[in-house]
Amino acid sequence: MLEIEKIFKRIIQRVNINLRDLAFDVSPFVTGHIDLEQMNKFYAFYGITSDIPLDLKLIHSSLAGSYFLGKCRVTDSLLYKSDIRGDELKRKDSTFQYKNFNIDLTEDELIDIKTSALIKTLVHNYSHDPETPERFFIKNTLSLDYANIHGSPSDGCFLGPFATVDLTTMRDCVIGAYSFIQAGEINHLEVNPGTIWVNSPGQFNFLYQYPADKLQHYIQVTAGGYPQGLLIDFIEEHEESFNRVFDAANLENTIKVPETASLDRYAVVLPSTKICENVLVAQRAYLENSYLGRGSNAQENCFIINSHLQGCNVTAHGAKIVEADLQSNVFVGFNSFLYGKQGSRISIGTGSIVMPHTIIDCKESLSIPADTLLWGLITNQAELEMNSIQLDDLRKINTSTNQGNMHFEGHGASFVEAFRHRVNHILEANGAFFHEHNNNVKGHAQNNRKLSLNTIQPFLFGEMQGVYPDITILPQG
């Protein structure tokens, strides 16, 4: 048996042991999903910049097509086309504030991945677990295509395709396909597919459940099968463009990029696209015939096609925007799917918030007013009215409200302000507000221009085929 097979079987066993109380077997969801014999055909790569601590330890693992940046350690794990982005990890001698606690950090934070299989998964941000402020751990965890583990330590969990865990600590949980969870700490919980849950105890609780029959059109996965649905089909339609980017050793930028913006080497940008000042385009983003105004960003696994983003727009990890016009300061959350058509475009007004994992799939033009919160499945005007609320109206809620499959309770004003604060932080971290003449602090859009990329390869033959040598990469000196 090849060593890579031993690693994979060990991961499956460890995850199943953790999930034994839920009687959940991950084997049928992953066996055959990755062709282990093909893993040696991909290289991994890592970024170097003077702004981010370099400390990579890759031990007895397979890393096919994966990207590393920052301080990371991967042990006895299998990563397949995953991005481990540690450019926002907490730094030594800083202070991490958690509720009423000010936690002093004695060392740089580390992303620590052990005995896990991450398939086309993004790991980003920093640990929000006050018990491990210097260690963002992921162990005994398995996640499927285009899941996001965002500031969410995970122990013994399974994430379905397009699932997102955000600012949450998880232990022994199953997160269903296309579910979004931001709930502090969860244990021994099985979350149904299409659950959108944002919970801040004592402040607010937002819960939406996709109709199961309608969600299956967009994404579904069954034991023994592969992920299927429109979301997967959409990505596969554009896969060839990414093959060209990853197959070439060097590529020239096809468009002009301002000095204060950055375009990642592993992003796809097709002609007729304009990138303005302070724009960040991350790896594996796809842009076609679109306009990104000053301070906007396209994060990992985003698609922006035939669309106009006026400025300071956040397109969060995995979001897709097609045939749409967004005014300024619009937030489009994780893995959302804004799917307008020619002649049936989507228009979203200034300051609106598209909740994570929202699907707008319209066959008629839809115009969303400024300062609107949107969620769930929207395919026509009636569903838009059911699955949206003006932010001013939400601010007035202090008890609870129900709209269709959405239930909200708590303080609406706290919910709105939390989102506003989060969006502003994202824009600031990405360098959206940078002005070179005012000595503003630079963000990712400016700093990533100094990023250099390096490749590493696995063993090509023998028992270790597909496994990478144990490697430690440190800065000189």
Confidence of residue 474 (pLDDT cuts 50, 70, 90): very high
Chain centre to alpha carbon of residue 399: 32
Contact predicate 56/473, CB 8 Å: yes
pLDDT at 23 over 60: yes
- pLDDT at residue 439, as a whole number: 66
Pairwise CA distance, residues 99 & 76, whole Å = 35
Task: Convert the pLDDT of each residue in 118-175 to its tens digit.
Answer: 999 999 999 999 999 999 999 999 999 999 999 999 999 999 999 999 999 999 999 9
- pLDDT at residue 249, as a whole number: 64
Pairwise CA distance, residues 142 & 252, whole Å = 36
End-to-end CA distance of the chain: 41
- pLDDT at residue 16, as a whole number: 98
- pLDDT at residue 98, as a whole number: 85
- pLDDT at residue 35, as a whole number: 85
pLDDT at 1 over 60: no
Helices in 26-78 by DSSP H: which ranges? 27-30
pLDDT at 373 over 80: yes
Among 355, 396, 359, CA closest to 372:
355
Among 282, 315, 322, 283, CA closest to 296:
315
Confidence of residue 475 (pLDDT cuts 50, 70, 90): confident
Task: Tell me the whole-structure pTM to 2 decimals.
Answer: 0.96
Contact predicate 149/121, CB 8 Å: yes
Pairwise CA distance, residues 387 & 373, whole Å = 8
Confidence of residue 96 (pLDDT cuts 50, 70, 90): very high
- pLDDT at residue 33, as a whole number: 84
Mean pLDDT of 86-108: 92
Q: How far are the Cα atoms of 34, 80, 110, 384, 467 from residue 76, in angstroms, in the given order?
A: 17, 13, 17, 46, 10
Confidence of residue 34 (pLDDT cuts 50, 70, 90): confident
Task: Convert the pLDDT of each residue in 45-72 to its tens digit.
Answer: 999 998 898 999 999 999 999 999 999 9
Task: Convert the pLDDT of each residue in 337-359 to its tens digit.
Answer: 999 999 999 999 999 999 999 99
pLDDT at 200 over 80: yes
Domains of the chain plus CATH, in order, are 3-226+451-473 (2.160.10.10), 238-400+411-447 (2.160.10.10)
Confidence of residue 286 (pLDDT cuts 50, 70, 90): very high
pLDDT at 212 over 60: yes
Confidence of residue 332 (pLDDT cuts 50, 70, 90): very high
- pLDDT at residue 50, as a whole number: 86
Higher pLDDT, 462 or 248: 462
Mean pLDDT of 180-204: 97
Counts of helices then strands in the chain (DSSP H, E): 9, 49
Confidence of residue 250 (pLDDT cuts 50, 70, 90): low
Task: Convert the pLDDT of each residue in 421-458 to its tens digit.
Answer: 999 999 999 999 998 777 678 999 999 988 999 999 99
